[in-house]
Each structure stands twice: as structure tokens, then as C-alpha cells.
Amino acid sequence: MKLTRRQFTLATLMAAGTAGLPVYVKAQGKKTIAVLFDGLYSPFWVAGLDVIKQDLTKRGYEMVQAISDKDDNRQFEQVRAMLARKVDGIIIVQTDSNAVIPAIKAANDARVPMVHFNRPPAKTDAFSVAVVADNRSITNATVEHMVKVAKEKGGKYKAAILIGNLGDPNAIGRRDGFFDVVDKNKDIIDVVARIPTEWNADVAFAGLTNAFQANPDINFLFTSSDFLFPQIVQVLKTRNKFQPIGHKDHIIFGGFDGDAMAYELLKDKYLDADGVQDLFKEAELAVNAIVDLQEGKTVERVLLDPGFAIHQANLEQARDRMWGYSIYKQKNG
Amino acid sequence: MALLECENLRKSFFGVEVLHGVSFSLDRGRVLGLVGENGSGKSTTMNILGGVLPRDGGRIRLEGAEFDPRGPKDALAGGIAFIHQELNLFENLSIEENLFITGFPRLGGALPFINRGRMRRRARELLEQVDIRHPPGTPVGSLSQGERQLVEIAKALSVDAKVIIFDEPTTSLTRREADRLFGIIERLRRRGIAMIYISHVLADVTRICDDITVLRDGAVVGGGPAAQMPTERMISLMVGRTLDQLFPERTCTPTATPVLEVRGVSQPGVVHEIDLTLHAGEVLGIAGLMGAGRSELARILFGLDSFHGGTIAVDGTVIEKPSPRTCMEHGMAFLTEDRRGEGLMMHATITDNIALASLDEYASPWARFIERTRLGDEVGRIGQKVRLRAADPVAALARSLSGGNQQKVVLAKWLLRNPKVFILDEPTRGIDVGAKFEIYKIIDTLVAGGAGVLMISSEMEELMGLCDRILVMNHGEIQAEYSRGEFDSGRILEAAMKRKTSAAAPGAIAEKVA
Amino acid sequence: MTATSLETEARSSGMRRFVRRVLFSEYLVLWLSVLYFLAVLPFVPQMASVEVLRNILSDMLPLLVVAIGQTFVLIVAGIDLSVTSIIAMASVVGASVMTGDGGYLAGSPLAVPAAMLAMVTVGLAIGAFNGFCITRLGMPPFIVTLTTMMFFSGAAIWFTTFHTTTSSIANLPHGFVVLGQGNIGGVPNSLWVVLAVGILAHIVLARTVLGRRLYACGQNRRAAAVSGVPVRKVIAAAFLISGACAAVASILYTGRLQTGTPILGQTILLDIIGAVVIGGTSLFGGKGKVVWTVFGVLFLVLIDTSLKMLGLSLFSVFAIKGAVILLAAVIDAVRTRFAARI
């Protein structure tokens, strides 16, 4: 089809008309950071995105975001789009630790610093920095507190652990952290149920229900993530096992993440201990790393968030560093 | 004063006038037959009357008052009901729901709940008037075509229609159902309802109509009481010339060479021990009632349906595993009775339709590319041979063609393969008179060229006018055989109906021989 | 009548002719893509950069290959929901053959060709199974491919667990990675592959006996059967082609991610079918062209890219994408109504 010049002009005008007037203007001199998440599946990620956003705004950066929704190819395309957009840095929660490597290489080629938030990539010669919680040691501290409570109470314990998706190094760290401690206390703790959850609440619910059917006397329970609390509470309630500390049917109960429900359960004395990822610190580390990399400073490939365990004894002092508490505060005035 | 008067109706589409002042009138309790070839303006006229199309000129008076429907709903409210060829019923709903779909009786008159009781009572009354014995709750999907038509009539009665328009009501009905319909029409006439009856089946028109109006090219070319309108006169008015004959002179006589030999073909419950021989140069007709197994036999012969026992041979070679493909390879062709459903790809071009059965012959040896130039030339040649008339004889879509030209496309599809045996199942159904004559001529050319034609038809005059021999089927068996010269509609009919317990109306196969 | 009004009249009728020509052109989706591109340009000026245009092209490639396969299936009035699971399954099977971490042929020079062969075999096998169930057992394509989709999505994850402790199979041989990133004569290898698939598909549909038969089966299956078309074989062929195309797409995806992952492509099913349908191929069969699918994919990738560049939240991305596609569908519906009137 042949276009005359007038037709072409008309089409262009129509297009400009459709585009409307508000024209996107890139703020001059303001640095842009891309924040790419895998998904917003649990309060941890929602809060994480929020904390990073606040941190960036405070420092006067502009943030653009994209979510891959569990699609590793889409995440790769998102990284390339951000590189084409000439962002000054990328903070990423990758969908897959292997599939993210080509994206890291692309960022290296474009000389854009890339920081992994909370999930480290697989081993590679491409350069990026990972901010990770020290899952194993945080879990160690948490489970040690649970064991201490058990010893004080006396008696023998049958333990269950809800394990995350083993494709996620965090899940592996938490599992190993749990077994480090219980294996040292085999005299009083016998692990009777290892429940795989694939990071899926329904799978967790079914698995825990089955575990209680096989071993109705489980009385020591650790979950690798706080986002499974609602399902756990439901299972416990149907078996009349959801009892506060001090009750004879109380199950020694621990979790990991430090979300708002964890705080509530601690406050109401249902939860004995919770491993807290220091989200504020992780966000700060991530943004610092990007700034440092831009300035040409050397940064360690892995930046550890030491985290901490929060429990009944240190609840008052430690809760201000717990991200779930700040959500709780916001919600409850 | 007439109940309905149409005066000088005019209508144009895209600046072209298609209706040049059509006038007619209709009295209470009369049936007006409206005949004409496709494109003569029957449908346009009725669509104006039914409120489907606005008119450009002229006037309509209903019971003396000016009538100007702005939509089908308007027309219906005025008392004109239009029963279309394609029925407008919801198959998933019950009879009563269909009857009252435009206005359910409600509880308390206005509440949003259906008054089931009243609906059922009223539905029973209406169904009785049209002789339907099913309970009103029966789903329409389970009714036969004829019964659905009656439901449409009941629907018209539910709004107290004064005029009912029937557009080709019998095309999808069996003969028995058609007779039942005619009975109802008679009953409505006695109640004083006026009707307009549109049909290609002139015998029916003569039988049930009081008056006949003939349209050609958007104008009334003749009319009068049915008694003064013999079929020949209607036809010559419709086509605008006197047809010396309804059937072309046959230009050849059968040879003694058999091209199709069927021996002992049986399929339990369908056909039984069928033996027949078709010779080169012969048109062999198969007569019989609906359900006698004629179409079923045709499908078996072409490998579409399976059978137990018996053989089919073409040119002396027995077809080992009959399937459409193998039958085609042996030189057979099959024109189905369901032109839209099985004969054509309605949304494809003429060329694609004609080429469909011959693709292998026009494919390059290895990559199987279509040789488009050669194919295009051949398709054009065949199109001319069958005298295909279309705006664009190559790229026009099949659905844009008239029935006659559609059928020519199907014939052309098979002609492209040069088959020796043609099985034609109702080749002229739903086709106007002029096109029928052309199809007959094509059939004659086929046999003159040495092929054999097996022709199934429900129109007795067609069989008697064209065939060299007629076989009569009854209950899945060949009941009788007649050669040209012994043809007699009475005897054929008798053979078709023998062993029937109920004495159906003798008009069941051909009530009139032209 | 004055001269000016005559002129306006002429211009307006010219305008009308232009609108009509664009509206009824089979390139409508291409025009819409151009229009959309111009419309978002003020918001994201980088869209016109060479880098972004190159990204758009390379993002289109794998999607285009699956979509071409889907076009064949839609032409015969079928639907193939299993393509995403074929992508995932082929990805992990291929990776399991060639990975340096305990692959079946780790280190062998045959590893890369054998892996690619295995991937195509997976596609053909699942396609053949779909075709068998549909043509021989008479099952509806929707149900058959829905169940194969579910089965092989799960099977891909299960298969992965035998080969790695992580969620994906990495350490693919250098040769495979280079194949995906290399170029011949300045044109990336993946583009060569897609060009070959596209041209071949176009020729099959437009020029060969199989092509005519595919359209015939979609238009009127019964008429095709009566005319001697081997309907079952033709429909089975469509599903086979779709399976093979999905496998080729899997090779391209796996190559660009350098990882065999069982969640590959799991979320793009609607993008695939959507792109084909937006291009103009009918869900009811009998109508479709490879070029249309190219335009449909272009349109979708263009929208996606612009939204990625804008960096909006997930919710606004979904909402805008939905709205733009809806708008395209409305324009299509309007023109179909116009076409029916003429």
C-alpha cells in the first residue's frame, strides 16, 4: 500500500493526538535505580519492596520497578529493558539462581551495578553483589532458644519442621540451621516430620495435617517461613494444640522472617522464638553497595545480614529492629 | 376492504433499485403464494413487511390503517408474524419458554418472577391449536424440524397474528411433516388468518394457495387465483420466457458397459442386499420415501459409512477398503444432499472449493507445491463448462453465491477429477427453476461423455424427466425397477410405499406430475 | 458551492478513504503497532534507540516460533494449550543431556546436537500424543492439551529433581551458549532460525497441498472428508507442527537463559494465543496467516517492552496491557461489523 505524504502526516498527527499532552520528562541529574522482584507473594516481599523504596526516596533516587511473576525469561527481558533505559543500578530478586546469570552478564557489559536482594545467584564468573541474610546462624540462634525452653520445661520432644523450596538457597540455610541444633540435642529431641512445602501454603497445610495424623504428639515445631503461620495456626486449632506458653498442651513453636503475624504471636505468647531478617539493614546494604559500585569502590560479593533471633525474653528491646513490628504499628495506629 | 394492501413498494441497496414498485393485496382467510427465482425480490418484499428492512417508497395498509413497522418487534405488534427459513428458536429452552421469550407472564403482573402456571396453561392452548402433543416443558432441541416449525406458528398465534409469512417452510421437512404443516395452514385459514407462502416447490404452492403472485427482477409480472395458474405458466412468468420443456433433450443412450457394480451390499438396519449396475452413459434414478435408505446407500457407496458384506466395483475393479479417498481414486464422485454442511466451504473462495478434491493432481512431486497457474487455468475452464455465474468467478466466496451456482461449484469440484461414476444426492434441492435446467444439462453432458450418473431425488418429475432407469427403494431394499417408457408415477409411488401399514396420504412422494 | 468547501469535501472523502483502507487492510495490526509505537514515544523516548529495537526483535523471536505453531492448530479449529509445558519439558530434557554437571553426554562433542535433537523429539512426541488423542480417540483439543499441559508442567519439575538439587539445570556447554549468541553475517543465529521456520511455515500454508488441506479442515471438516481430504492426518500434522515449533522456541529460550528450567514459559500461554488471535487468525478455524501472527507478536512485544521501560507496578502493567489489547479487539470487531454491512 502506498502512502501519500498527506496521509503520513495525518497518521502521525493522529498518533501524537492519542499520545496526549503529558510528556514524560526524565528528571535531570536524578539517578534511577531499577528494582526487579520475582513476586509479591508474602508480607516479607511486600515490606521489602516498600523499605527499599523508602530508602531510595530518602537518598533522592528515583525508582522504577518490574515484577517477573515467576517467569525467568520475562525477568531477563526486564533486565535488558532497564539496561536500555540506562538505569544507574539494579536491585534484583531473581526468579532462578541459574537463569539470572545471563542477566548479570548483560549488566556487566552495560557497566550497570547489580545487587541481589535476599537471594544469591548460583556460582558464576560474572560480577554482582548479593545481600543475604545469614539464614543458618539466625536459625541456629532461634532454634537454640527453643531448645533452651524445652530443657527448662523438661521431658522428651517430637519435632516437626516445615521446609521451603530447595531451589532457594535460603530454604536450605534454614533447614541446615535447624538440624545443626537439634542434632546436638538428640537425647531430648526426635525429629519425626520433615514437611516439604515448595513455598506453597496449601502444600504446607496438607503436609502438616498429615504429619499430625501420623504423630499426634508432635510438640516442637519450626517453620522455615512466617508466611505459613495462618495455615499452621489453623491445623493446631483443629487439634486443640494452639495454646499459649504455660498451657500443658503448648507446642514449642518457632519461625523465621519476622513478619507482623510473628510479632502478634510473640506478643500473645503463642510463639516462643522467631528468626528475624533485618530488612532495614538489608535494604541499606543493597543501596550502599550500588552507590559504592558506582563510585568505583570495591565491594564484597556477599554482604551478610547477621539478623537476630527474637523471643519472649528480648521482645521489648529487639522489636524496633523487627520489620513486622513496624507493619504492626502502622496497622494498629 | 383487503386486510393487507401493499402498494408500489420500492427499495434500493447502495443506489441500485432492487424493488420497482411491488403491489399486492391479501384478504382474511386467504393464502397468497409468492413465487419467483432467487433474487426476484421475494425476500426483500417480505423483509419490508416484517419490519426487517425500511422501505424507500410505497405504502402498506393493514386493516385500512397506514402501517409502518420500524422493526420486527413493531411488525409483530401490528399483527404480522414472519416465520423464517432458518428458525429462530432456542434449542436449549423448552417449548413454553420459546413461546413466551419476548414477554413472559409475570407473577402479580409486574414482579420479576415468571408465572409458571399461567405460562403452562396458555402454552397448552397454543400447542393444541397446532397439533403438538408434547408437554410444554419439552426442550425444543428434542423436537423434529417439522415440530419446530409448528412451535414457530404457535408463537405467532400467541401474539394474535393476523398475517403469517412463511419463507420456504418445507426445505428441511420430510414429506409427512410438510403434509402436517399444510393441515395446520388449512386450519388457520378457516380461522380467518391470512398467510403469505413463499416456496420454490411449485406443486405445494398450487396445492395450498388461493392466489398466486409471481415476481421477477423486483416487479410483479403476473398473478391471479391459483386455479388459473398452472405450473407451466408460473415457470414461464418466473423465467421470463416460455420454457419449451422442463428437461433437456437427452443426447445419448446408455451403453452396455457397466461402470459401477454393487453386489449384495448390506448394513443391518440401513440397507439390505443391494444389487445395482450403472452403465456408462446412463442416468440411473433412485426414488423412495424419506428414510427409505437412499442417502444412506449413497454414503456407503462412497465409503463415508461402513457396511457389512457385499462388494462395490468400479470399471470391474472391486474397491478393497472403501473410503472417500479410495473411491475417488477409483473414479467416483459424490454430491451430498447437505450442500452447506458437507458440500462446500462456505467461507472459502470458488477456486479453493473447486480445487479441494484434486489437490494431489496439481502438486509438484517432492515438496507437494501446488501448481497454481495450471490449477487456476483448469478451475477457470471447469467454471465456464458448468456456466458458473459469479461477480468474481475465481475469488468470490461460496456463501455469496445463489443456491444454483453453489451447486455448480460442487459439481465443478468433481468434474475437475474426470470421474466415471457420479453419485448425486438431491442435486437440485433448494435451487430455482432456471438453475435446475442447467444442472440437468450438465448431467446430460456428463453421461454423453461416457460417465454414469446415479441420481437420488425426491422430485418424481425430475427422475422421470431425466433418467434412463429408475430404482425404487423401500425399507432399505430395492423394491422395483422401471425403464424409460414404463415410467408411471402411480406405480413408482406404490412400490415406494408398499409394506407400509399406515396408509399415508398418496401425495407423500409426488402429488403432481408436471 | 465555494471552492473551499469543495476542497474540504475532497479532503474529508480522502480521509475517509484512508481510514477505510487502513481499517480493512490485512495489515491493520501492523498499523496499530506503528500507531502505538508513536503514541508511547513521548513517554519513553528510548523506545526508538537501536538497543531497544534490537531487544524487541530478540524478545519476539522465541514467542514468534511458538505462535507460528499455534497458528497451524488454530487454522484447523483446534487449540494447543500444551505448548508452554513443551517449552518447559524440552528445556530440562535438553539441559539434562548436555549439562556439565552430570549430563548424560557431559563433555561429549555430540552433547549439543544430541540435546537439541532430544528437545525437538520431546516437542514432536507430545504433539503426536495430542494428535493421537484428538483424531483417534475423538477427544476435544481443549481437554487433551489442557491435561498434557498440566501433566508435563509437573513432569518437568519432577524430571529436574533427578538432575540437580537446585530448581534449574545450569552449566550448559559453551558450544550451546555460543550458538545462541553467535551470528552469521551479522545476523544473530536465532534470527536465522526464526526466519527459516517462518518462511517454511508460510510456504507450507500458502503453497502446498498440506496447507490447503489445513485450511479446508478448519473451514468445514465434513466437506473436507467428503472431498477425500485425510482429515485425521491433517489435524494430527497441525499438532505435530505446533509441538515441534514449541520445542524450537524452547531451544531459543534455553539458550538465552543458559539454563534448563522447568518453569520456562509457564506464564506465556495467553501471550501466545493472544498474539495469534490479535494478528487476525480465527479461533474458529479456517483463517490465519504467518504474517498476521508476526504482526500480532510484534504488537504484543511492543506493548510489553514499553511497559517494562516505564517501570510501572505489576498491577498497572496488567491493566494497561489488557486495555490496549481490548482496544485492538474492539477495532477488529468494529471493522468486522462494517465489513458485514458492505
| Assembly ipTM | 0.86
Nearest to B261 by CA among B337, B316, B191: B316
Q: Say if residue B372 is in the same domain as residue B412.
A: yes
Q: Who among B328, B346, B356 is closest to C216 (CB)?
A: B356
Condensed to tens digits (0 to 9), the pLDDT of residues B375-414 reads: 999 999 999 999 888 888 888 899 888 888 999 999 999 9
- Asked whether residue B508 is assigned to any structural domain, the reply reads no
Of B182, B208, B239, which closes a domain? B239
Q: Say if residue B464 is in the same domain as residue B393.
A: no
- Asked whether residue C317 is assigned to any structural domain, the reply reads no
Mean pLDDT of all residues belonging to chain C: 89
Is residue C282 less than 8 Å (CB to CB) from chain B?
Answer: no
Residue span of the structural domain in which C128 resides:
64-288
- Asked whether residue C207 is assigned to any structural domain, the reply reads yes
**Dist. CA A146–CA A255, nearest whole Å:** 10
Interface test with C, best of A1, A73, A91, A125 (most C CBs within 10 A): A73
- Asked whether residue B361 is assigned to any structural domain, the reply reads yes
| Partners of residue A189 on adjacent β-strands | A157
Q: Say if residue B272 is in the same domain as residue B284.
A: yes
Helices (H), B111-201: 116-129, 145-158, 175-190
At residue C95, the pLDDT reads 96
**Dist. CA C148–CA A302, nearest whole Å:** 42
Mean pLDDT computed over B8-34:
87
User: Using 50, 70 and 90 to split pLDDT, how confident is the model at C62?
Assistant: very high
Q: Say if residue B221 is in the same domain as residue B184.
A: yes
At residue C196, the pLDDT reads 96
- Asked whether residue B397 is assigned to any structural domain, the reply reads yes
Residue span of the structural domain in which B350 resides:
342-418
Q: What is the largest CA-CA distance in chain C?
A: 86
Cβ of C212 within 8 Å of Cβ of B356? The answer is yes
Q: Say if residue B388 is in the same domain as residue B467.
A: no
B232 CB neighbour count, 10 Å cutoff: 13
Top pLDDT among C331 and B321 is at B321
- Asked whether residue B438 is assigned to any structural domain, the reply reads yes
Closest CA–CA distance from residue C75 to any residue of chain B (Å): 13
Q: Is the pLDDT of residue C243 over 70?
A: yes
At residue A18, the pLDDT reads 46
Q: Is the pLDDT of residue B495 over 90?
A: no
Condensed to tens digits (0 to 9), the pLDDT of residues C151-194 reads: 999 999 999 989 988 889 998 998 898 887 788 888 889 999 99
- Asked whether residue C27 is assigned to any structural domain, the reply reads no
Q: Say if residue B19 is in the same domain as residue B163.
A: yes
Q: Is the pLDDT of residue C262 over 90?
A: yes
- Number of Cβ pairs < 8 A linking chain B and chain C: 70
- Asked whether residue B458 is assigned to any structural domain, the reply reads yes
Cβ of B360 within 8 Å of Cβ of C209? The answer is yes
Residue with cell 406443486: B203
Q: Say if residue B300 is in the same domain as residue B155.
A: no
Helices (H), A268-332: 279-294, 315-318, 323-331
Is residue C215 less than 8 Å (CB to CB) from chain B?
Answer: yes
Q: Is the pLDDT of residue C124 over 90?
A: yes
What residue type is A1 in one-letter code? Answer: M
At residue B502, the pLDDT reads 38
- Asked whether residue C95 is assigned to any structural domain, the reply reads yes
Interface test with A, best of C92, C166, C269, C317 (most A CBs within 10 A): C166
Is residue C209 less than 8 Å (CB to CB) from chain B?
Answer: yes
Contacts of C331 in chain A (CB under 8 A): none
- Asked whether residue B161 is assigned to any structural domain, the reply reads yes
Cβ of C257 within 8 Å of Cβ of A166? The answer is no
Is residue A10 less than 8 Å (CB to CB) from chain C?
Answer: yes
At residue B424, the pLDDT reads 96
Is residue A98 less than 8 Å (CB to CB) from chain C?
Answer: yes
**Dist. CA A139–CA C242, nearest whole Å:** 49
- Asked whether residue C20 is assigned to any structural domain, the reply reads no
Of B191, B206, B239, which closes a domain? B239
- Asked whether residue C323 is assigned to any structural domain, the reply reads no
Tens-of-pLDDT digits for all 333 residues of chain A?
Answer: 444 555 555 555 454 444 433 334 444 568 899 999 998 888 889 999 999 999 999 999 999 999 998 899 999 999 999 999 999 999 999 998 899 999 999 999 999 999 999 989 988 999 999 999 999 999 999 999 999 999 999 999 999 999 998 777 889 999 999 999 999 999 999 999 999 998 889 999 999 999 999 999 999 999 999 999 999 999 999 999 999 999 999 999 999 999 999 999 999 999 999 999 999 999 999 999 999 999 999 999 999 999 999 999 999 999 999 999 999 998 887
Mean pLDDT computed over B327-349:
92
- Asked whether residue B245 is assigned to any structural domain, the reply reads no
Helix (H, G, I), strand (E, B) or coil at A305: strand
C209 CB neighbour count, 10 Å cutoff: 21
Cβ of C308 within 8 Å of Cβ of A67? The answer is no
Which residues have CB under 8 Å from B245's CB, separation 6+?
Answer: none
Is residue C287 less than 8 Å (CB to CB) from chain B?
Answer: yes
Closest CA–CA distance from residue B281 to any residue of chain C (Å): 24
DSSP-assigned states of every residue in B358-406 = GGGGGB-TTT-BB-HHHHHHHHHHHHHHTT---SSTTT-BGGGS-HHHH
Cβ of B359 within 8 Å of Cβ of C209? The answer is yes
Q: Say if residue B411 is in the same domain as residue B446.
A: no
For the beta sheet containing A157-163, the strands, ordered from the edge strand earlier in sequence to the opposite edge, are A189-196, A157-163, A220-223, A252-257, A273-276, A308-311
Q: Say if residue B282 is in the same domain as residue B321.
A: yes
B95 CB burial (10 A radius; 0-12, 13-18, 19+): buried
Chain A residue nearest residue C22, CA to CA = A1
Cβ of C43 within 8 Å of Cβ of A23? The answer is yes
Condensed to tens digits (0 to 9), the pLDDT of residues B220-253 reads: 998 889 888 888 888 888 877 665 567 888 888 9
Q: Is the pLDDT of residue C231 over 90?
A: yes
- Asked whether residue C131 is assigned to any structural domain, the reply reads yes
- Asked whether residue B490 is assigned to any structural domain, the reply reads yes
Closest CA–CA distance from residue B88 to any residue of chain C (Å): 20
Contacts of A82 in chain C (CB under 8 A): 308, 311
- Asked whether residue C254 is assigned to any structural domain, the reply reads yes
Q: For residue B116, what is the domain's CATH number?
A: 3.40.50.300
Number of domains forming the structure of chain C? 1
Cβ of C223 within 8 Å of Cβ of B342? The answer is yes
Structural domains in chain A, CATH included, are 32-134+279-306 (3.40.50.2300), 135-277+311-331 (3.40.50.2300)
Cβ of C207 within 8 Å of Cβ of B370? The answer is yes
Q: Is the pLDDT of residue B513 over 50?
A: no
Of B18-22, B103-107, B316-320, B433-437, the one with minimum mean pLDDT is: B103-107
Q: Say if residue B313 is in the same domain as residue B383.
A: no
Q: Is the pLDDT of residue B167 over 90?
A: no
Number of domains forming the structure of chain B? 3
Nearest to B85 by CA among B161, B197, B10: B197
At residue B514, the pLDDT reads 32
Q: Say if residue B184 is in the same domain as residue B309.
A: no
Q: Is the pLDDT of residue B506 over 70?
A: no
At residue A22, the pLDDT reads 37
**What pTM was estimated for this model as a whole?**
0.80
Chain A residue nearest residue C180, CA to CA = A102
Which residues have CB under 8 Å from B487's CB, separation 6+?
Answer: B464, B470
Q: Say if residue B319 is in the same domain as residue B430.
A: yes
